[in-house]
Structure 1
Amino acid sequence: MIFTSSAHKPQRFTTPPVLITGMSGAGLSSAAKVFEDKGWYVAQNLPPELIIDLLELCSEPDSPVDRVAVVCDVRARMFRGSLQQTLAELHDRGMAPTIVFMEARDEVLISRFDNVRRTHPLQGEDTLQHGITRERRALLPIKEEADVVIHTSDLSVHDLRRAIEASFDTAGNPRQHVTIQSFGFKHGAPKDSDIALDVRFLPNPFWVPELRPYRGTDVPVSDYVLGQEGAAPFIDNFVQMFSSMLAGYRHEGKNFITVSIGCTGGHHRSVAVSEEIGRRLRDFDGLDVNVLHRDLDR
């Protein structure tokens, strides 16, 4: 993919640059490690003004870097020039990055800071909660511009890797990226959903003794769930509705779409329905579809 700007030379990135930002303690360093492991060049905690210089340098014809990610946390406020101003200038130069915002619940952030015995960068002489509240307020405008919001409150490091890989393994092409994730309501609904579906209206295989040990990825459970009255019309209607939304998402510049599908425990119904919806959406032109199961092993 070649970026162009009327006022600047063409850029040579084959994959749009990525900006990783978000709440302190929400997993920015872990996300950076995933990108590094996938072969991206990752720069951490650059002042906003230097982000432009880095991307210009990486876009030179003889640069060995064609995939670059930059981590920028709330400490960037100490430097001249805001992150929003930098993003606006990058957009003007044809180098607008994909923004990944890392998020987590307050109580989770507090627990993580307590575990590592660190103070929050905006805490000052106040409580940890005050620092988190200040940061959340300061980062709200960036979160509202984010292309991908990843809530890490209930994610393991391995889950985080899968979530990033689902969105960015094919990020260098112009297609829309759709993540279908199953979950269990008893573990809390995901907060990073664009669309959320509830399939608890279907009979629960958990109450069928011979099916209980299996999961929705297994044929006996899948056949049972998808064969229930109402399952096929529900999936048909959703796929039809979703297909009618894609052009609107594309027009609004939203190329990363997350559909969350929940049942009670996230083991049977939501898994089977997610797999079937993912199978059907893979037949659509212009879509990259990944299916994740957040609570399958819980």
Structure 2
Amino acid sequence: MTEPDNRTTVLFVTGMSGAGRTSVANVLEDDGWYVSDNVPISLIAQLVEMVRTSEVGAQRIAMVVRGGDPSFASAMATLRRDLEDGGASTSMMFVDASDDVLVRRFEQVRRRHPLQGTGTLSEGIAAERAITAPVAEAADTVIDTSNLSATRLRSIVENVFPHVAGRRLSIAVQSFGFKYGLPIDCDLVADVRFLPNPYWIPELREHNGRAPQVRDYVLGQDDAAEFLDRYVELVGIVGRGYLREGKGYMTLGVGCTGGKHRSVAMSEELARRLGEIVDDDGHRLYDVEVTHRDLGRE
């Protein structure tokens, strides 16, 4: 049996300015990588050790490295060798684009190229390409973003790092009362006012949807279980689409009249069901958190 590799993984994200290094870093950060941008090469080894041994305790560290010095290639080679001698696993991704695309991107954002100096934009790009050419040759992965949408770039990064593709969707389930207004940040809203209101049951009125007697009353109503079954299926369909489109989180609003009884009980049960869903390997599909916006209001 192969022992798991518990070494710290250090990924260097480098490449041409304007090619999409920050976009790649955002994908990695969404999946839980510790990402640091524009740290001087001379300080990276120290930072890696600090991150690995600190409270952060990150085992996947991505460093966005920007090369503007002629010694960039040799410095990167030495850094990787030192980190690997220290027990880390390193890899390097080079993000590139054609010169025409880089010119167009810089003109769109009206920014100077970092190596442009007093020269032209094209001269700055040429200078950077000469410096980074040896780094591109040594890279483990080269991604050309010239014709890539943001969604397609995310998909490519996810394929390079399978654990990124297997990330979990974060779901926030929030109960609320319609009489206090709709939450402004919900992606999906469920209206559970079709269920009988425990408010009209004297022995249930003063309790909320977390109380066992209220929960059992609400979940025991006709169509409550079917509604939850269908809604969990809907969340699965929408959630898969969100992940494909690069959105790693979803907020579900569950509303009743006052946000005290039905919405609370249904939110708790919905969160429980979503939190128990696993893939074929037994890994949870969702990170779920439930909150109750209007619980406690009179």
**TM-score normalised by structure 1 residue count:** 0.50
When Rg is computed on C-alpha atoms for both structures, the one with the higher figure is: 2
**TM-score normalised by structure 2 residue count:** 0.50
